[in-house]
Structure 1
Amino acid sequence: MYGIDLHKNKERYFTIGDNKHQKFAFLALKRKITVSKVAPVNLDSERLKSEKLNEAEISLHLSDNQENELSSLLYDHREAFASDKESLEEIISHEFDMILNIERPYPPLVRRPAYPASPKSREALEIHLEELLDLGVIRKLPVSLYIDASWDGLGAALHQVQIINDKPLEGPICFISRQIKPTEARYGASQMECLCLVWALEKRNYFLEGCFFEVIANCTTVNSLLNMKTCNSHMLSCQIAIQEYRGNTTIVHKYGSIHKTEDGLSRWPLPNNIDNPSYVPEEASPQIPIEGISVTDLNTTFFEEVRHSYTQDKNCSILCQLLTKDCKDNSLIHALDEIRRK
């Protein structure tokens, strides 16, 4: 119970409980408290939180200012979020670099796989892929890779069937070419065609990874490369290089008279330099430095003295006798010094 005396004395004081002798005075604050500015509330930002981010979990450890800053940041980049009224085509992708401030071994949360392998997650992923296919964001249409090689260069063209006016028409995606290197000029015709296939798959693997496609070439050797059983080292390296595409590709032979587009790319190729996106650098052979050369001219007298010195040494003489025998001679072996027997 608090008692406050406001009438009997000029000084204002209050007491606590029944103790009337202990008095507590009121202190006047010299600093005036005034409300000068109220932080504005962004109604659009609050609407974003309530409509599109209503299922998001914001950490409870954030202060009010931190939560407001986060809401403002999300509102500034609101185009990255899609609602149920927007199609999947309107989702904008963002790339960012993440630098970890921890060292190995990483905690379990960081080491989690990118996609959970549960049946429910796989089913949801398949449904999502089918939606993307229906919308045309990703296409599941036939792809063809045309290749050709000549003594001037290598050429390749990547084509895909496209639906134009409700009709499937094959159209080009990209063309690549380069001049051959001096070391490749020694290859035969079949080796050159196989080299062109390996080069085209390497330079356009991001188009072909994970899809089924046809390789069209005017060389029958390329057609049998995957199933070739006896081949030289160069053809074997080409065979190994394309093994990862074995289950996804079919190699088809096409006569050279109708193989025109790729024939022009290989006969008039782009220079093989860094300005060419399909550039392949020349592999420099390792250079072993020569530290010095020593030339000595010895006459026959020197070699005679060497032979004579061998006969004077007991161990060398016994070793020479052992080398001339057809079978093992234990008596000669025991005649050697102990260190030589080992």
Structure 2
Amino acid sequence: MGASLRDVAQRAGVSVKTVSNVVNGYEHVTPTTRAKVEAALSELNYKPNLSARNLRRGRSGIIALALPELDSPYFAELARAMIKAAEDAGYTVLIDQTDGLLERERHVLAGIRPQLVDGLIVSPLAVGREELAARTDDTPMVLLGESVFEGPADHVAIDNVAAAGIATEHLVSIGRQRIAAIGVQPPDGQGTARLRLQGYLDALGAAGLPVEEDLIKQGETFHRKDGVKAVQELLALPEPPDAVFCFNDLLALGAIRGAHEAGVRVPEDIAIVGIDDIEDGQYSTPSLTTISPDKDQIARLSMEFLQSRMAGDRDAAPREVQADFRLIERESTRGRH
């Protein structure tokens, strides 16, 4: 059995109430008394009973994180950052995979099960703004991703138009003239693809480069195999591109593989850039130039917003916040130095 509040109180020579005040961060404790209690907490290796504390507060101490694909490196790395941010705030994370399916997203948005979770962090693909606004479950929620903007909940994302523009501008800056894009989705496809296409087109226009439809390739998914297929089609053109902007890193890694299989050198013959900064990109050959979203900041902001809502700040207007990102130049555009 671990040390109790009573054990700590006896060691410090104070009341149990005083120890409780220190553990819970109440201000009205003298510095001398606080120091004595903190020393006793350390000596006895006291661990607070979070389950009992949450029960007294009417909470479970659990939040749910719902993501489309857990086998996607980006979402796996984001989940890791979320778990760390939640742990720092004293919460445990329940992770669910929705596969971007409407019914699974609806299940999450209904609160999963009454009293199971205190809050939700969700990256929706299928559910739209109207349905989100009409949800009857009152579990506090934060939205991620690019499918729903100006919705009924706090929303954290990066500026995908700007990110795609910077990726494309980088290719222009190294002298590339025929810049392709891989990852376009049908009109009813995911919002991420639409925004990244817009950033690509804006950057071409700003550089005075023409938009060539045969250089814009659709990806059935954002997976490696789609990058391989698309780059093979691009390299078979009478005038192949000399650069490719891929809408995520998995597509870019597939494109690097497809170029290698075709005997085309990266970046000498074709430069490739992605978005997500997944760890695999650091160790590919060549290593991958990418746009790196600040995943830790996304996680931290999401938890801060969720905590404020769980604490009772339910009536304030939903917040739209953009996290930071940066371009990381590696061998797939600059070569080896």
Relative to the length of structure 1, the TM-score reads 0.26
More helix by share: 2
Larger Rg: 1
Relative to the length of structure 2, the TM-score reads 0.27
Of structures 1 and 2, the one scoring higher in RCO (CA 8 A, sep 6+) is 2
